[in-house]
Amino acid sequence: MARRHYIGFTSRGPSIFRNVRLDETGRPLLFLEEGEIARLELDFQSFVETGETISSATVAPDNVTAVIANDTTSATITFSAANEWGEVIVTVTFSTGDVWSDKIRVRNQRRINMARRTTDYHEFHP
């Protein structure tokens, strides 16, 4: 069964993360396996006011293939062909004219492991 990637938004912004980490700068980070196609749901239902909807959602991918689709309160990004380090700038425009935009980073786990020349475990001998 495929992992579900999910970011839930509240009035404070991104607040609920499922199978999504935050990188060292606090940006959302997804780890993908080689050849994996992943979907990330951005759920704005608790973020929008009554009657407010998503008017449009766009992505600007770099070193990853990404497409976005949206309904009234959520947007789903489909990622594929991730290089070792990729990122997507996501812009969501609401019916009120408000705009949310952020960068989501994507890492190809297999390529990172292949590029790593040393182990993460280091033994210390005094």
DSSP element (H, E) containing 87: strand 85-94
Residue 80, pLDDT score: 87
- The 3-state DSSP class for residue 83 equals coil
User: Would the pLDDT of 91 be above 80?
Assistant: yes
Q: Place 118 in a pLDDT band, splitting at 50, 70 and 90.
A: very low
Residue 124 — φ and ψ, nearest 5°? Answer: -110, 125
| Mean local confidence (pLDDT), 109-126 | 48
Domains and CATH numbers, the chain: 5-115 (2.60.40.10)
Tokens of 19: 């199978």
pLDDT at 89 over 90: yes
On average, the pLDDT of the chain sits at: 85
Q: How many CB atoms lie within 10 A of CB 24?
A: 6
Percentage of residues of the chain with pLDDT beyond 70:
84
Q: Report the chain's terminal Cα–Cα distance, integer Å.
A: 47
Q: pTM higher than 0.85, yes or no? A: no
pLDDT digits (tens, 9 = 90+) for 17-69: 998 999 888 899 998 888 888 999 999 999 999 999 999 999 999 999 999 99
Confidence (pLDDT) at 33 = 84
Q: What is d(CA 73, CA 53) in angstroms, rounded to the nearest whole number?
A: 6
Residue 75 has pLDDT above 60, yes or no: yes
- Residue 24 corresponds to which tokens in the numbers above? 């060292």
Distance CA(92)–CA(55), nearest Å, equals 8
101-119: average pLDDT: 68
Residue 103 tokens, joined: 């960068």
